[in-house]
A and B are shown apart, each in its own frame.
Chain A
């Protein structure tokens, strides 16, 4: 069963009662909310996501709701909650949806230490994964969105989840939060992409969420073998440059960008070293998405050939 099998009314009832149980890759969540605007957006953007089977345990109990007490009368606000606690200051109610999305990422980043968590987008083709570790503003979400609308499967826009037992990359195909100019770039690049409303003036500027293609969500339990590390950087008017990167440098960039490298100690070192050793590593400068997609397709085709 998927979220889309629920009517908006049923979804709203679940959100307002015990919570909507939903599965994002390896994580089960329950989401509670008393906000009508949130329910309608969740119904639309979470539509293809599966509901966990009966009896499955939730990893995170999150919520986005009007805070109790005086605050709710002074200014309309929304508080993100985890296990009933509010770890962050309230958001304006108009930003409830992105606040919940960030909150869920925060839950994963701070709690899922049974996995190595790279700060990286990831895509897959023919069982092989391409990872894009990058700093904010380097254009990884834009590039990742372009690629998953060009024949690649989304693994994750934010987390490279690596299973310590075998070094496989686990999918976490959540909504992709595009920011500022990237929103129109993707609207032009793939007009058919499903993009939610633009939230103006958030803590990260204007944000709009892209729903991954249904195929990526349907295959959210299929792991992939890391094969390439590509360190992207969007530079206005820059010519395309895809250049091999020394592995020592790639290792340092991957390790320093991981969410929990220090937490996992030697396991993290060995996993990152093995991934970098067995992957081709490149730096990518681009300004044109079509050129970048073609160049990365070529890497994949070369392996297939």
Chain B
């Protein structure tokens, strides 16, 4: 079964302020303000709609970024998801490892 990611249960009511290709996000549950690039922000926005398999998120992000399938570098995608997990904003629902 493919690994699925989801927004952490404690995360709700995120407040978004997009400017150019930078997204500033306020997280009420931690009172933190985050600054994300477009890729990271799109992954989080995607997961706000519900849990999704990693491949599905990447496809969604590529479509939202307007790049061809497979054009979003795996390393960039993995870095963004790892960062979101590190911040406690998203989590892996399955026991399989997070994307590399």
Chain A residues in contact with chain B, CB under 8 A? 246-248, 251-252, 255, 262, 265-266, 269-270, 273, 277
Contact = CB atoms under 8 A, between A and B. Distances in A.
Contacts, number: 32
Given A255-B33, A266-B15, A270-B15, A247 B20 contact: yes
Interface of B is mostly: strand
B36 to A, nearest CB: 10
Interface of chain A: mostly helix, strand, loop or mixed:
helix
Contacts of A252: 24, 35
Contact of A248 (B24, B26, B31): B24
8 contacts: A246-B20, A246-B22, A247-B20, A248-B24, A251-B24, A265-B28, A269-B15, A269-B26
A248 B33 contact: no
Interface string B1-34: 0000000000000010101101010101001010
Contact of A273 (B20, B22, B24, B28): B24
* Chain A CB within 10 A, most for which of B19, B31, B33: B33
Interface residues of B, number: 11
Given A246-B22, A266-B26, A251 B31 contact: no
B67 to A, nearest CB: 22
A276 to B, nearest CB: 8
Interface of B: 15, 17, 19-20, 22, 24, 26, 28, 31, 33, 35
Nearest to B13: A266
A70 B57 CA distance: 72
A265 B31 contact: yes
Contact of A269 (B19, B33, B35): B33
Contact of B19 (A247, A255, A262, A270): A247
Contacts of B35: 248, 252
B15 A248 contact: no
Given A255-B33, A269-B33, A248 B19 contact: yes
B20 A248 contact: yes
Contacts of A262: 31
Contacts of B22: 246, 248
A247 B18 CA distance: 9
A251 B15 contact: no
